[in-house]
Amino acid sequence: MARRGLPGRVGDVQKPVAESGTPRTPLGFVTRYAGLDATMGLAFAGTGMLFPFFSPLLGWLGVALTGSDTSSNVLFGSLQQITAQRLGISLILAAAANSSGGVMGKMIDAQSIVVAGVAIGQQGGEGSILRYVFIHSLVLAMLVGVE
Rg of the chain over CA atoms, in angstroms?
Answer: 18
Confidence class for position 141, pLDDT limits 50, 70, 90: very high
Per-domain residue ranges of the chain? 24-144
Give 26's contacts (C-beta < 8 A, 6+ positions apart).
none
Q: What's the CA gap between 131 and 139, in Å, rounded?
A: 13
- Residue 9: the pLDDT is 54
Mean pLDDT of 66-73: 87
Count of other CB atoms within 10 angstroms of residue 130: 18
- Residue 111: the pLDDT is 86
Amino acid at 26: P
